[in-house]
Amino acid sequence: MVRVTASPVLAPIGAVAGVRAPGLVLQAPTEADADAVAAACQDPQIQEWTTVPAPYDRADAETFLLAVERGWADGTMLTWAIKDGNAIVGMIGLALEPVRSAELGYWLVPAARGRGWMGAALRVVVDHAFDHDGVGLDRLLWHAYVGNWPSRRVAERAGFRVEGTIRAHGIQRGRRRDSWIGTLLRTDQR
């Protein structure tokens, strides 16, 4: 496993990818964010396209935030809240896998969608993931349940190549779902 010394606080992302959002930052969430995370995860789209529990309550948010803290401590999972000022509007993370590789995950609250914010966040996280002074990875993996076009378009715009469909790849709350799979290599043009 790669030892990670990556910072839980990344630079403001408002100027990235042409989005006008001066208050947009990436910052590791803490236990103080449980209410905001629980509120965000009530969204039917987040429940439809991710593995969050459904129904989702405050205890689920507390469990998630504990996992985030452990992930930063042992370098196995790097998770940033996407914040607009003090408000959490999304989440983006890298789940590290052997060797110098990680799987990407992300969501935005409904009010933050359609503004290019995830594209901007992703660009910052991808640069950080591949940067030798950041995480120093060789490869990123993205997957989404088949039909999740917004996720796919965001990944493709960041340079991911969607390489195919893997049947019954995902297990969402005990149910198997087909997944689109894509990768981005450090050596790829972005």
Ligand X SMILES: CC(C)(COP(=O)(O)OP(=O)(O)OC[C@H]1O[C@@H](n2cnc3c(N)ncnc32)[C@H](O)[C@@H]1OP(=O)(O)O)[C@@H](O)C(=O)NCCC(=O)NCCS
Enumerate binding residues for ligand X (CB under 6 A).
45-46, 49-50, 106-108, 113-114, 116, 118, 144, 148-151, 153-154, 157
Q: How far is the CB of 73 from ligand X (least distance, A)?
A: 25
Report which secondary-structure segment, H or E, holds 95. strand 87-97
Contact between 179 and 146 under an 8 Å Cβ cutoff? The reply is yes
Q: Which two tokens stand for residue 47?
A: 């429940």
Q: How far is the CB of 5 from ligand X (least distance, A)?
A: 27
Of 4 and 155, which has the nearer Cβ to ligand X? 155
Of 80 and 107, which has the nearer Cβ to ligand X? 107
Q: Is 12 helix (H, G, I), strand (E, B) or coil?
A: coil
Q: How far is the CB of 24 from ligand X (least distance, A)?
A: 13
Residue 151 is given by DSSP the state H
Of 1 and 87, which has the nearer Cβ to ligand X? 87
Closest alpha carbon to 93 in 72, 78, 71: 78
Of 157 and 161, which has the nearer Cβ to ligand X? 157
Q: How far is the CB of 141 from ligand X (least distance, A)?
A: 11
Closest alpha carbon to 148 in 95, 105, 98, 89: 105
CA–CA separation, 147 and 152 (whole Å): 9
